[in-house]
């Protein structure tokens, strides 16, 4: 269960009450700033291109910080440190590939997706698949996979946002979910992705600042890395081993799925379309990697220091691993810093939800009609309507039951990875990929992920220790992609439009 | 040639991971050889994907050869060391505040590539990723496509 929770990047446990005046005041100020940015962006959103890809006018720094914000959900601040506290260093394998993934993403996708947007009108990630294989069907299938994954992902994030708002404002969980959804929806539906990007810049900066400050306290209170290590080794050496309490295979499986799978996360790679000048991609990996590294210091540090404090007897063992961050902050850091982090948690969740709202609305109003041979006449209006419909649906799911949310939440990352990595990441770099291969791999990703997760979740079948469904489905869809493309290789050049071929040659 | 090698590496890496999974399903548990196979498969897949993205047309990876080789060695040697070295105990030495195997994972695999790869990307960007000439070529393509679209729309 721990592994599947980690694969889902879930944050569904209640937080302790945070209703202190400073925390409430900082949270109110934070929401006011987000609302102001949303209003500013609304005045600049006039077309569907503005709404879905910010009119391809975003600079490098906002793009990198926004991509970082969208990558990290509230899991990085609450669930992640809790997982480190629970299973030790093994939990770090979820974020370990960050050292590779941003440069890999720039090489594999950054340039090609941005150049595709130069030669064609590109609004969505499935647009790139449709263009690459000259196939509206493949585009529609990718959009369906995105919609399935997004509803669950959004529901888990809205539940997490509801928990944070409830803890800060004492609203009750149900009201917290709807308040959080309405605030995010307000700026998303009016200002579209433009509002999303600039609130992400603010939110990402807040997250990075909060993380660095907390890490300073971690080192001071824990007695440095050496002090924490000595304490933990004396009481629980396995915890501090390289795999923590996971098997080596499970830890490596995290490395594979969160490494290669990063190439299939539409809410992040979609942002490549938005860059104003393609040549500015040059410094994207450095900025994005540095920002992620700084922001993830809290993830590792808090889990370790809380474990050390418990081992020293300075803290009682936690009732729930997700209490690690709130307990450490409330007990050992100034209240203003706690307030900053809790606003940072809300920031992380809202930036992710906003990105999901945008890509799912685009899938509904743009990709599915294209797959059916139709065009929506007013994509801006319908984009806004779709954003509302999807958000309400996700909030209803979030409120329905914890079991349903947990079940839907585990699909997210793995479904994105298994359906988009072969067709998009490999396909944009291999002229031998075929339309049939792409369609077969997307279908394999959907079927294997949904079937395996359902069997595992309802305990119809127990996967052997160390085997993750996400890893299994990613491998299956990649193999199907290669095999079917090879079997249909005579059609490869026929399914590669000339302009896309030029983009792939560069 | 380089592209073919990268594709071969990608297919080979993914196949190794699949073999490890089959082994786990067949025996119900992950024996050490499956972990080794999975580790080599994962490292190879990640590297092959980067090479596939970096290579241009039928050209090679030129100045990226050394950074990519270094990263591959780092992953293979780093994970191998972690799999071979003795487990931690209360008396373990610390490397920069962490037990040796954990230090290899966090500092070696987690932090070293973080500096190496983004800098390699930036310093080879103009010559290997996207030059002004490339952008001009894409611009010409866009103008051609736009002209074709206008011509089709204007046709009686």
Interchain proximity A226–B7, CB inside 8 Å: no
Residues of B in contact with A465 (CB under 8 A): 29-30
Tell me the pLDDT band of A256, cut-offs 50, 70 and 90.
very high
The answer on B32 and B15 residing in a single domain is yes
Interchain proximity B130–A465, CB inside 8 Å: no
Residues of A in contact with B71 (CB under 8 A): 100
SS (H, E, C) A23-80: HHHHHHHHHHHHHHHHHHHHCCCCCHHHHHHHHHCECHHHHHHHHHHHHCCHHHCCHH
Higher model confidence: residue A85 or residue A41? A85
Residues of A in contact with B83 (CB under 8 A): 248
In A77-96, the residues whose Cβ lies within 8 Å of chain B are: 89, 92, 96
B50 closest CA partner among A128, A282, A425, A95? A425
- Please state the domain count of chain B: 2
The answer on B65 and B35 residing in a single domain is yes
Range of the domain at B156: 129-156
Residues of A in contact with B111 (CB under 8 A): 99, 293
Interchain proximity A240–B49, CB inside 8 Å: no
The answer on B142 and B85 residing in a single domain is no
Interchain proximity B117–A234, CB inside 8 Å: no
Higher model confidence: residue A259 or residue A461? A259
Tell me the pLDDT band of A71, cut-offs 50, 70 and 90.
confident
pLDDT at residue A5 tops 60: no
The answer on B97 and B37 residing in a single domain is yes
The answer on B18 and B70 residing in a single domain is yes
Q: What is the pLDDT of residues B41-80, one digit of tens each?
A: 999 999 999 999 999 877 788 899 999 999 999 999 999 9
Positions of chain B with pLDDT lower than 70, given as ranges: 153, 155-156
Q: What is the pTM of this model?
A: 0.92
- From CA A183, how far away is CA A216, in angstroms rounded? 32
The answer on B25 and B98 residing in a single domain is yes
The answer on B154 and B115 residing in a single domain is no
Helix (H, G, I), strand (E, B) or coil at B89: coil
The answer on B139 and B116 residing in a single domain is no
The answer on B68 and B16 residing in a single domain is yes
A505 at B interface, C-beta within 8 A: yes
The answer on B150 and B73 residing in a single domain is no
The answer on B136 and B102 residing in a single domain is no
pLDDT at residue A4 tops 70: no
Q: What confidence score (pLDDT) does residue A46 get?
A: 79
Interchain proximity B30–A289, CB inside 8 Å: no
pLDDT at residue A132 tops 90: yes
What's the whole-number average pLDDT of chain A? 89
Q: What is the pLDDT of residues A189-221, one digit of tens each?
A: 877 788 888 888 888 898 899 899 999 999 999
Higher model confidence: residue A35 or residue B10? B10
Q: A307 with A85: CB under 8 angstroms?
A: yes
Q: What confidence score (pLDDT) does residue A372 get?
A: 92
Q: What confidence score (pLDDT) does residue A466 get?
A: 82
Higher model confidence: residue A117 or residue A1? A117
A223 at B interface, C-beta within 8 A: no
A221 closest CA partner among A359, A143, A334? A334
Q: What confidence score (pLDDT) does residue A158 get?
A: 86
Residues of A in contact with B42 (CB under 8 A): 252, 255-256, 259
Q: A199 with A354: CB under 8 angstroms?
A: yes
The answer on B138 and B119 residing in a single domain is no
List C-alpha distances in Å: A467 to A470, A473, A475, B105: 9, 11, 12, 21
Concatenated DSSP letters of A266-332: HHHHGGGGGBS-GGGGGGHHHHHHHHHHHHTHHHHHHHHHHHHHHHTTSSPPPSSGGGHHHHHHHHH
Tell me the pLDDT band of A75, cut-offs 50, 70 and 90.
confident
């Amino acid at each position: 269960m721990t592994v599947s929770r980690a694969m889902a990047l879930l944050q569904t446990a209640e937080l302790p009450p945070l209703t202190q005046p400073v925390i409430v005041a900082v949270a109110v100020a934070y929401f006011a700033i987000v609302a102001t940015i949303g209003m500013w962006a609304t005045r600049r959103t006039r077309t569907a291109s503005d709404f879905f890809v910010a009119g391809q006018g975003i600079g490098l720094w906002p793009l990198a910080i926004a991509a970082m914000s969208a990558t990290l959900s509230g899991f990085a601040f609450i669930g992640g440190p809790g997982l480190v506290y629970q299973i030790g260093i093994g939990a770090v394998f979820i974020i370990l590939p960050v050292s590779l993934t941003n440069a890999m993403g720039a090489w594999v996708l950054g340039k090609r997706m941005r150049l595709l947007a130069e030669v064609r009108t590109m609004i969505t990630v499935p647009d790139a698949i449709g263009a690459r294989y000259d196939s509206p069907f493949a585009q529609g299938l990718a959009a369906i996979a995105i919609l399935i994954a997004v509803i669950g992902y959004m529901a888990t994030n809205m539940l997490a946002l509801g928990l944070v708002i409830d803890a800060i404002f004492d609203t009750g969980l149900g009201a917290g979910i709807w308040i959080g959804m309405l605030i995010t929806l307000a700026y998303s539906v009016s200002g579209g992705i433009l509002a999303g990007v600039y609130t992400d810049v603010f939110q990402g900066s807040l997250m990075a600042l909060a993380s660095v400050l907390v890490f300073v306290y971690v080192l001071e209170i824990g007695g440095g890395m050496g002090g924490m290590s000595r304490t933990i080794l004396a009481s629980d050496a396995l915890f501090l081993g390289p795999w923590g309490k996971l098997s080596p295979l499970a830890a490596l499986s995290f490395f594979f799925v969160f490494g290669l799978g990063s190439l299939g996360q539409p809410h992040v790679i979609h942002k490549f379309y938005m860059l104003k000048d393609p040549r500015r991609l040059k410094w994207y990996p450095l900025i994005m990697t540095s920002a992620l590294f700084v922001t993830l210091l809290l993830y590792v540090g808090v889990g370790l220091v809380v474990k050390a404090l418990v081992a020293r007897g300075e803290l009682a063992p936690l009732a729930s691993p997700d209490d690690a961050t709130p307990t450490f902050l409330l007990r050992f850091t100034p209240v203003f810093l706690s307030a900053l982090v809790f606003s940072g948690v809300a920031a992380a969740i809202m930036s992710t939800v906003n990105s999901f709202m945008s890509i799912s609305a685009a899938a509904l109003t743009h990709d599915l009609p294209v797959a059916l041979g139709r065009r929506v006449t007013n994509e801006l209006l319908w984009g806004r309507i779709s954003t509302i419909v999807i958000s309400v649906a996700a909030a209803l799911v979030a409120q329905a039951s914890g079991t349903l949310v947990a079940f839907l939440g585990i699909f997210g990352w793995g479904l994105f990875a298994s359906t988009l990595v072969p067709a998009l990441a490999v396909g944009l770099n291999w002229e031998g990929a075929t339309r049939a291969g792409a369609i077969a791999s997307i279908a394999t990703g959907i079927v294997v992920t949904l079937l395996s997760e359902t069997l595992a979740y309802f305990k119809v079948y127990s996967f052997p220790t160390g085997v993750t469904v996400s890893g299994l489905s990613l491998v299956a869809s990649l193999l199907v992609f290669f095999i079917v493309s090879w079997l249909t290789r005579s059609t490869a050049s026929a399914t590669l439009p000339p302009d896309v071929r030029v983009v792939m040659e560069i | 040639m380089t592209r073919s090698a990268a594709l071969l590496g990608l297919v080979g890496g993914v196949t190794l991971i699949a073999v490890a999974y089959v082994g786990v399903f067949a025996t119900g548990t992950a024996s050490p050889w499956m972990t080794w196979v999975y580790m080599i498969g994962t490292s190879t897949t990640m590297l092959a994907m980067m090479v596939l993205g970096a290579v241009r047309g039928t050209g090679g990876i030129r100045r990226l050869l050394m950074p990519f080789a270094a990263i591959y060695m780092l992953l293979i040697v780093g994970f191998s060391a972690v799999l071979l070295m003795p487990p931690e105990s209360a008396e373990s030495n610390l490397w920069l505040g962490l037990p040796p195997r954990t230090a290899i994972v966090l500092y070696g695999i987690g932090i070293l590539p973080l500096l190496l790869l983004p800098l390699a990307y930036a310093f080879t960007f103009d010559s290997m990723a996207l030059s002004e000439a490339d952008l001009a070529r894409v611009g010409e393509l866009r103008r051609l496509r736009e002209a074709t679209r206008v011509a089709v729309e204007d046709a009686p």
